[in-house]
Every structure is written in C-alpha cells, then in structure tokens.
Amino acid sequence: MLLLIFLALVSSLRIPKNFVISNIERTVSLTDRYINIQSKITFQNDGVIPIEKIYYTIHNALSDRLYHVNVEESNAKKLIEDVDVKYKQNATVYEFTLIRPIEPSSKLEVELSEHFYKRFKPLPKEIGLEDEQLVQFMDSVYFFTPYLVKNQITYYETPKIISYSLKSATQRNQLLEFGPFQDIKPFSTQIHTIHLENNTPMTIFTKASKIIEVSHWGNILIEENYSIENQGAKLKGEFGRVNFNKYNPNVGKHSLKQLSASLPYDSWGVYYRDEIGNISTSNAAKGKLNGETQALVQLRPRFAIFGGWNSNFTLGYNLPTKKYLEQDGNNFRLTLNFSFSVKEMVSDKYNFQISLPEGAYDIQVDLPLYVERNDTLLFSYFDTVGRPTIILDKATTSQFDNKQIIITYKFSGVSILREPLMIFGTFLFAFLSIIYLRRLDLQTLKLKE
Amino acid sequence: MSSEEETQQSLSYKVHKSTLKWAPVFNMTILLSIAIISCLIRVFSVIRYESIIHEFDPWFNYRTTQYLVKEGPYALWNWYDSESWYPLGRSVGGTVYPGLMMTSGMIYWVLHKLSIPIDIRNVCVFLAPIFSAFTSLAAYGMTKEITKRSEAGLLSALFVAIVPSYMSRSVAGSYDNEGVSIFALVFTFYTFLKTVNTGSILWGVYTALAFFYMVASWGGYAFIINIIPIFVLFLLITGRSNQRIQVAYNVFYILGTLLAMQIPFVGFQALHSSEHMASHAVFLLINFLNFFSWIRNFVSKKAIITLTKFLVVFLVFSILVGVVILTLAGKTQWSGRSLTLLDPTYAKKYIPIIASVSEHQATTWSSFFFDLHYLILFSPVGLYYCYYKPTETKIFGALYTVLGVYFASVMVRLLLVLAPAVSIMAGIGISWAFRKFAKSVRSFILPKIEKPKKYRIPPEISIIGLVLLGYYCSIYVLHANFAGSEAYASPSIILSSRDRQGNRNIIDDYREAYYWLRMNTRADDKIMSWWDYGYQITGMSNRTVLVDNNTWNNTHIATVGMAMASSEEDAFEICEKLDVDYVLVIFGGILNYSGDDINKFLWMVRIGGGVYPHIKEEDYYGKGTYRVDQYATETMTNSLMYRLSYYRFDEVQTAYGQPKGYDTVRQAVIGVKGYKLRHFEEAFTSENWIVRIFKRKQRENRDGVAFTSKQTSQFTIPKESSPVTKFSKKANIKQRFTLNFNE
C-alpha cells in the first residue's frame, strides 16, 4: 500500500513516446551580468492523447543558479519530484500546464525563458583597473530535456568573443551559432565553454530583506536592506584614482557605479543609508516608466564596487495606507509587493517581514510563491502584547518574484485607540501624582522661624 | 486729575496688578520656552546634515556607548579594547569618564523599558541638546541663588541657552563629555550656592552628588574642586566665613572626595594628585579655624592674638612645605594639561602632543568675541554688581568669572567653562540695568506704587537705555542663531560646498573611505594613520588602529610620527614591525581642504623627534620655511607622508591655469614628480582625494638580501620569518638549493 502511494507520488513524470520536440531555437544572451535564455520550442504530438503538461528539467549543478523559468503559453508552474530524473540524471523537474493542450498529431510552438545568475566565471580571476573583464561561460551544447529533440539550433549573443571550445560552431561578428543538431536523445549533455568579454559588473545581493510595519494611523513603513557583492574578476594592483574618475568613464567599467530602484508612485520620505549614515549620492524622481507611474530612485553606492568588493545599504520609504489597505468592517486586506525594489538584481537570500498592528488577529497570507513562513511578535513603539509579524524566507529572489502578496486579517476599531489612551493615561497619572505630592506635607519637625 | 486720566491710571494699575499676579506663570512659561529654545537651536546640524555623530572624540564615546548598551555596565568596566593602540590595546573601563555613556545608556534602557525602542545613535545625537536645556534651568537656579531675583535668572538662562561657546560643544551630534558636564558644573554650583544660602546638609549632599556626576563625566571637574576651596579660602581671609560655609564645604569635601574615588579613572588620584591638594588644605584650614574659634571661648583675648598669629603662619607654612615636599618626592603630580594652565608656555616647551591640539592653544581675542559676543561687554556690569554689595554667593559668582577668564585665556577649550559664568554675570548685569531703568519708567507711569526718588534716572533716558539694551540683546540672539545654524552645525566628517548655481553639494569623502575600509578589508587588519583619525576609524570602519585621540602613550604616537616622517624604506620597516596593513592619509590638495595631514605634518615631525632624536624639524624646512614645492628638502620629499599624499598627484590638473600637480592648499606645484612607490600601493582614494589609503605590500621574495655567494652562505633565515608557514616548504627547498649550490 505504502509502496503504491510512493509510486504514485514519484512517477508523475510520464512522457508519451510519440511526443517530441521537433524544433528548438535557443538564444542565449551573454551581454548582461545575468544570463537570459529564450527558447522557441515546437512540440509535436504524434500520439493519441492530448498533452497538457510539459516538463522542464534543469541539472542540479545549475538549479540553484536558475532564478526564473517560465513557459509563455502555460498557466501553472509546479516543482515536482521524480526519483528517476532526480537520481539518474541529477536534475530537478518543473511541470508546466499549458493553457491549450496539444492535440494529437498537431504542433505547438511555446516560448521558454530561463534566467540564470552566477554562471560567469571570471578568467583571468584578477584584472587591473583599466583592463577588460573576461569571463568564461559553460553550457551544454544540447538542450537538457526529457524529450527527444529532432532539431536544435543555438545562438550565443556576446559583447565580444575571445574563444570558444566547440570547433563546429560558426561565428558571425559577436554571435555564435551552434548547430543545427539532429535527433538528440533525452538528457544529452556535452559541455562546451565560451570565453568572452563582459564588462558588466557581476554583482549580486548576497542578502536582501524587506521589513514592513503597517500602522492603521495611515502609514506603511518599508525598509529594505541589501548586502551587495561583486563576484566578477578581482581588482589587481593599484586602485588609481587618477585613472578612475568621473571624467574617464571607460576606466573600471567592471565596477558597479549605480543601481536603480522603482518604488510605488505614492511613496514618500525615501531614505538611503548604511550603518554609518546617509549615503549622499542618490536621486529620486517620480514619473512614468514603461507606461507605469512610479518613483524612480537612482542609488550610487558610497564607492564603486569592484570585483571582490562588498558593501551594504538600506533603502526605506513610506506608503499611505489608503491605497494598499482595504477595509470591510473589521476585516482588512493588505496588498503589497513581495520582492525588493532594486531593479535588475538577484539576491541569494531574501527575507520578507511584515508587522501588522498590535491586536490584529485571524491573519491569512496569500502568496503565489513557495516560501518558508515563520510567525513572531515585534515589540515596537508603545507595544504591550507585540505586533503579529510574519516572516517569509525565500532563497534566490529577483524581480520576477515581485508578486503581490495579500494579507487578510481582522482588527477591531477600538484597538487603534489603545496606544494614545495609554500615553494619555500615563501623563494624567504623572500630573495627578505630582499635584498630590506637592500638597503632601512631609515635614516631620516643625522648625520655628 | 481728570476722570479720563484717572481711568487710564487705574487701567495701568490694573495691568500692573494682574501682571504681578501672573508673574510666576510668566516665569515658568519663559523658563520652559528657554529650555525648548536651547534644544531647538542645537538641532540645526541634524536639519542641515543628518543625525550623525560629529568630530573625533564623540566617535569614541559613541562606540563605547554602543558597547555599553550591548554588553552592559559591568562589561564596560572590564572592556579591554583591542581595536585601538595596537599592539598595546586600551583598558577602556579604567581610562574613561563613564558619565556620558552611562547617561545615554540609562536613557536608552528606560525608554526601552517603556517600549520606546529608540536607536542608541539618536539618544547619543540628541543628548547634548537635551542637557543644554537642563543647563539653562540650572543657570536659572544658580543666578537666583546669587541675586535672589527671577528676572536675572531668566536672562542668565537665556544667555546660557544660546551662548555660542557652549553651543559649539553641544549641538546635536556633538556627543562629548562637555555636553553633559557643563550641566553638571552649573548644577553643582547651583546646589553649592543653595547650601551656602541655607546651610542645609541635605543640599550639601546634593552638591556632592552633582559633583560626583561631574567627576564621572569630565576631567574638567578639577575646576570645581579648585574653585570651591579658593572661594572658601577667600571668605576665610576676608572674614566672611560662617557656619553655613563650613557645613557646605565640609559636606561637599568629604562626600565629594569619597564619591570621586569611586570613578576608576580618578581613584586615589582624588587623594594625592595636585589638582585636589587645595581642597585638602582648605578642609584642614576651615576646620582648624573653627576649632580655634571654639577654643577662643576659653582663652583670654591677648593670648588669642598671639596664638592666632602663630597658628596661621604655622598652618600656611606647613601646608606649603607639605605640598612642595610631596611634589618634589613625586607623590603628587600635576598633569600636563594642568601644568599648561599654570604656565601657558609649558606644553609648547615640553609636550608637543598637547600643544598640537588646536583646542589647547591660547585663546585669541576673535574667538573670545565670536564665542561670547556681547556677553563680554555685559558681564563686567554683573561683576560690578557682585562686588558692589557683596554676599557670599555674589562673591562666588565673581570669583568663578574671574578664574574662568584666566583659564579661558590659556586654552580655547576652557572658554566652555567661562561661558556659563559670563552668561550669568551678563544676566545679572543686564537685569540690574533693566531694573534701574524700569523703576524710573514705572515711577513715571505708576507714581502711587513707585515713589519717585531724587536721584533716579529720568524716564526719557531710561526708555532709550531700555531700547538700546534690548537692541544689543537681540543682536546677541541673532549672532547665536547664526553660530548655531551655520558655524557650529557642521559635523566635520561631512563637508559641503556650494556650486555656482547655489546648489549645496555634500562632500562625503571621509565616510566613503571609512566605509570602504569597513567592507573591504579583513576584520583584523591594522590601519596606521595620524592619531586624529583613530576614533573615527575604529568607530566607522570597525578596524584596529595604532594610535587614537586618547593620546595616552606619547612614545607610540611618536613612533607613528616617525614612520610618517621617515623615508619609504624606513617607514616600511617600522610598519612591518607594527603589523600595519594599511596606511591612511588625509590629503586636501585637490579640494583646497586645509585641515589635511601635510599641514599637520610638522606636528608629527615634532612629536616623533621628541622621542626619536634623529628626526629633526630643520630637515623638513626648505629655504627656511615649511614647503612642498621644488625647494622642499630631500628629507621632506622622501618622507612617507609626502610620498603617500602626493602619489600620482602630478598627473592631475587641480586648478585652472596652473600646471599639473598644483597643490591648492599650499598654493605650489609639488617638488617631486613621477615617482613610484616600492613598498606601498594605492588601495583606495576617495572621490575628492581627501582620504587616501595605501596597502603595505608584502616583502618581496629575498627582498633585501644581496645575492653574493659569500653573503648567502652566512645568511640564515631569522626566526621572525618562521610564522610564514604557508611558504615554508618552498623556502626550505630554496634554502637547500642555495646551500648545495654553495658547496
């Protein structure tokens, strides 16, 4: 019986024999600090049953560097366990449910996008201030998939190619073309490397967190903390301020000089600081970007972050509750973005913490992401029983995880007055006792004048 | 008298009556507003810049406070700070006045208990403004004890609240001992005068407690422990001593000394240091005299006179001899700073490290005027009033002012001690003048109440006088406002400039470099810099420094001075011995920032030369003056400081119409160009070059060993090099190889 259940659980990856990838065209973009792979996949169903679930496999050597994967034509993504793939192929499986199943003897072209980080290996490991940053990219020649691939062609877009290991590849300017390859068996891999020039700073957040405090007096306080690291080629030799300055933009191209963050349009009181105070190099403007109104903040770190260097900073802002908190009697519904607001960055670890007002109960969190949840209490200004706090932890996090998190809870209207009344009472008591004590005659011995 | 006039008269009488009735309320309201103003005027720095700790010493206090709230008070007593004075370290618990840290720690804990989770940085930043409010209240009390008049008290409170001298040390962010101890000083005086006026032992105990707080906060407590005995001695000599004085002094002395000994940094110094000698002597004297006057009841008058003469001479003589013997025997000692007070040229001659600090310089007239402004003009009036009809408390006020003036003239820093005195005197003086003028005006308006006297100032002149005084006071207020909002608001680690469009630019080089150190060096790296930046580096970069602003070890500072003044090769040897990983220099040649290390360099030479005589100041003078251009001496241009500061400076254009390598501070083109560093490499330079950090390179392989067969056979690897285990294998092979080769 137990075995049956076990089997039922694990053998979810069922691939019909006559279901193949008839054509795949992969475009690997190596121009940025993160790697973006867009694949056009044509599935061919020669079987008799319609297929509505397709599987994406990723080798475990890369699975923790994959920060986002999506199939355009799907409406559900699920991480599934498959013993076979897990142990034989050492891979992880994602299951995508297609919006429109692939009917027998028909084709469907889907678009798969994969986003990786930390896949560039700086080579040489150390470079000088004025040198170009060269990195090595390692990939499989064949698309790693449980399906049979009839035809594959891969393009690598690079800023500048130094060398590549696959001799059969053709180079056109800064574009490498691999293939076409025919009839590739499932899970075929063949490692190849490309050595290229990529001067974008290889920065990641080693840690990021977002701390939110909701007040029913009208304010939502949001503070985001970041630890940033440049994992690119380390700086060799002297720093050289003579060369590296604002008049020489081509020196030290591989250092991170600026980040940008987009905040909600109605955010106010933005601050940007670190452990020793304000970082005075930032700008903020409200405007329209990609059709969305938002506040754009440009953040310059205290110092340009070269390879091997670290830094950290805090970005904080306030939001009015009226737009994000809906009320229905005693029921409240809070809608906020889950991810951090610095753009085009990926964080290794992410911690999301939200404190609801003291006295909130019946809290429900609705989040379309896989996260670890812990609840605790936060003691802030004038708290007696503590604010209910939800802590969500997620590994690799990026802008793609910026889903809306919806928190519903109950909160009675009287609770809002508790703290003001407490302060009022304290002062009243203090004044009354002073009045009383002033009138108290504590003299034991009456001295004659 | 017509009826109209009568109603007018009765109206003014009514106003007068209700004013009198409401006077206490006015009094309290004004006092409260003064307290609030004194807080607010000090917050300009936070508004203009940010909530940040200022200057140098406050960074240590802040770091200690952070340690205190994190680890608790007992841990603070035992804290041995390994991040400073490498490799010596510093026992913080025993070498610190903990009053300031304890105060903010207390505030922090109380607020946290009341579930107000305020950040410790904000407690530290706003502590001084809050205490300045207390100071103005204490000044009110003190003036009231001196004159028994509220209006003088109010004026004094206002003057103290906004006196620029005090403001310079107590703006928000200026988290220094003076911030709380000026309050402690004034409050101690207030309680002492209260004791003098009442003869109450309870108030005497309060005085001792206030004094205890002062001792815990600042080394300037020596001022109190000297001025009170001088005051008592003065009363004794002028024959104004009485029972109340005796009670006040005895309670203060006994309890105060005992309490002072509880502070580890003071300890038994309270008994044997020279600063306390006067208090011991006066204690003996006053009690002896009291005893003597008690004896007098039993002895004949003639005998008493001879006895008095004899005893007084004997006593004074024996005390003098005692002090001299103790001093000569080394049992009691004057600290360098105290000696400088007695002999202003002392430090210049013997202790350059004290003389090098700008706040230990003699005060210039301009800083007197800038820091005290019109109070200097007003205070003699108060002083005159105090001598005109002297009482004990008035004498105290006058004595405090006179002594304060002396000390303030010797050291700029002690203007701070003078500031409350001058404010109080000015308050007394102006209120006295006001009162005289007001009386004559009142006798004109309300002749029934204020009977006109014969020699009273005519009301017309009185009105002019009132207007003039009001005008001067308002000028003073405006000046104080300027000082608070502009002159003393700068945190000094953040600079600001204005461009042609009038936009304010923040120059944040210090924090840029300090944060770079914090984030991108190993946790145990040692940073060598001139001692001025020690506290800031440990505070902001959290890294170990060799010397810091505590300056307790002259030799160690001299060693750093020697390293900076030596040639690169020699400096490398010194740095290697001291485990220095990075050298940090401040350089203002690009931005015309004159407080940089090249300008401080002569002090490094002097202090270094004081311990290591091979460093000679003359060697650094080219053509008789201190210069960096082509006429600079070779010793100067070879020195590490010169080499590091001007490294690759000749490649940049700094000023329009000047050749490359033009130093905007020294206004000269540097003398040596195009040199390379051999043992150091530029690790970081801030955007405007203000902070330059150099990394000490590792010794090269076989560095310094000449490869000749004879020498090689004699050469043995010294024991010091054995810790390099990483390369020991290679070294062994090489060693063996060379040996074989020689055979």
Q: Which of B110, B115, B514 would best serve as a mutation to test chain A binding (most A beta carbons within 10 A)?
A: B115
Per-residue model confidence (pLDDT) at position B195: 93
Contact A412, A359 (CB under 8 A): yes
Query: Is the Cβ–Cβ distance between A365 and A405 less than 8 Å?
Result: yes
Nearest chain A residue to B495 by CA: give it: A280
Contact between B115 and A274 using a beta-carbon 8 Å cutoff: no
B645 touches chain A (CB under 8 A): no
Q: Which of chain A's residues have a Cβ under 8 Å away from the Cβ of B173?
A: none
Instruction: Give strand ranges (E) for B160-241.
Output: none
Question: Does the distance separating the beta carbons of B494 and A276 come in below 8 Å?
Answer: no
**Which of B52, B513, B648 is the closest to A277 by Cβ?**
B52
Residues of B in contact with A236 (CB under 8 A): none
B115 contacts on A by Cβ (under 8 Å)? 379-384
- Min distance A341 CA to chain B CA atoms (Å): 23
Our CA-based measurement puts residue B207 at a distance from the nearest CA of chain A, in whole angstroms, of: 21
Enumerate residue ranges in chain A where pLDDT < 50.
1-11
Return phi, psi of residue B407, to 5°: -65, -40
Which residue, among A201, A220, A200, has the nearest Cα to A212 in the 3D structure? A220
Instruction: Compute CA distances B140 → A427, B186, B423, B425, B697, whole Å.
Output: 26, 10, 11, 12, 61
Q: Which residues of A are less than 8 Å from B51 in CB distance?
A: 277
Cβ of B506 under 8 Å from any chain A Cβ? yes
B651 at interface of A, judged by CB pairs closer than 8 A:
yes
| Euclidean distance between CA atoms A374 and A387, whole angstroms | 14
Query: Cβ separation of A303 and B648 shorter than 8 Å?
Result: no
Residue B589: what pLDDT? 87
Contacts of residue A309 in chain B, CB cutoff 8 Å?
A: 516, 519-520
Structure tokens at B647: 């490294």
Express each pLDDT in A73-103 by its tens digit: 888 888 887 777 788 888 888 889 998 888 8
pLDDT of residue B735: 38
Which chain B positions have a beta carbon within 8 Å of A281's beta carbon?
A: 508
Q: What is the DSSP string of B560-598?
A: HHHHHHSBHHHHHHHHHHTT--EEEEE--TTTT--SSHH
Contact A280 B506 (CB under 8 A): yes
Question: Which residue numbers of A have CB closer than 8 Å to B's CBs?
Answer: 237-242, 245, 274-281, 302-303, 308-312, 379-384
ipTM: 0.90
Look at A280 and B494 and tell me if their CB atoms are within 8 Å: yes
- Tell me how close the Cα of B339 comes to any Cα of chain A, in angstroms: 38
- Best of A206, A221, A280, A378 to disrupt the B interface (most B CBs within 10 Å) is A280
CA A160 to chain B, closest CA, distance in angstroms equals 30
Subunit contact B508:A303, Cβ cutoff 8 A: no
Verify whether the Cβ–Cβ distance A281 to B519 is below 8 Å.
no
Rounded to a whole number of angstroms, the distance from the CA of B743 to the nearest CA of chain A is 39
Does A277 contact B685 at a Cβ distance shorter than 8 Å? no
Dist CA B645 CA B585 (whole Å): 7
Quote the distance between the C-alpha of residue A74 and its chain's center: 21
Chain A residues in contact with B116 by the CB 8 A cut-off are 381-382
The 10 Å Cβ neighbour count of residue B430 is 27
In Å, what is the CA distance from B551 to each residue of A358, B13, B57, B241, B494?
50, 65, 11, 43, 24
Phi, psi of B734 (to 5 degrees): -65, -45
Closest residue, chain B, to A426 (C-alpha) = B114
Q: Give the predicted TM-score (pTM) of the model.
A: 0.88
Tokens of B429: 């003086």
CA nearest to A65, candidates A346, A310, A305: A346
Which of A238, A243, A271 should be substituted to probe chain B, the one whose Cβ sees the most B Cβ atoms within 10 Å?
A: A238
What is the pLDDT at residue B495? 85
Q: Which residues of B touch A384 (CB under 8 A)?
A: 115
For residue B508, give the nearest of A241, A280, A381 by CB distance.
A280
User: Cα dist. A9→A14, A82, A390 in Å?
Assistant: 12, 8, 31
Of A238, A277, A311, the CB nearest to B50: A277
> CA–CA separation, B383 vs B422, rounded Å?
9
Q: What is the mean pLDDT of each run of 10 residues along chain B (743 residues)?
A: 61 84 91 94 90 90 93 90 88 89 94 89 93 95 92 93 91 90 94 93 94 92 91 89 90 94 88 85 87 80 80 82 77 67 70 72 84 89 90 92 89 88 94 89 77 74 91 92 87 82 84 92 92 91 90 88 91 90 92 88 89 88 85 89 90 85 88 88 91 89 55 41 37 37 34
Other CB atoms within 10 Å distance of the CB of residue A89: 18
Which residues 161-190 in chain B show a CB within 8 A of chain A?
A: none
Query: Which of B115, B494, B514 shows the shortest C-beta gap to A382?
Result: B115
The predicted structure's pLDDT at residue B489: 85
Residue B536 contacts A where some CB pair is shorter than 8 Å: no
Please answer whether residues B185 and B420 qualify as being in contact, where contact means their C-beta atoms are separated by less than 8 angstroms: yes
B587 vs A: CB within 8 A: no
Instruction: Give A275's contacts in chain B (Cβ within 8 Å).
Output: 515, 518
List, in sequence order, every residue forming a beta bridge with B164; answer none if it has no partner: none
- Note if the bond before B452 is cis, omega within 30 degrees: no
Test A379 with B115 for CB contact under 8 angstroms: yes
Find the CB nearest A384 among B115, B116, B117.
B115
For chain A, say whether B516 makes contact (Cβ under 8 Å): yes
- Only one residue has tokens 């090595």, namely A136
Residue of B nearest to A306 (CA): B520
> What's the pLDDT score for residue B333?
64
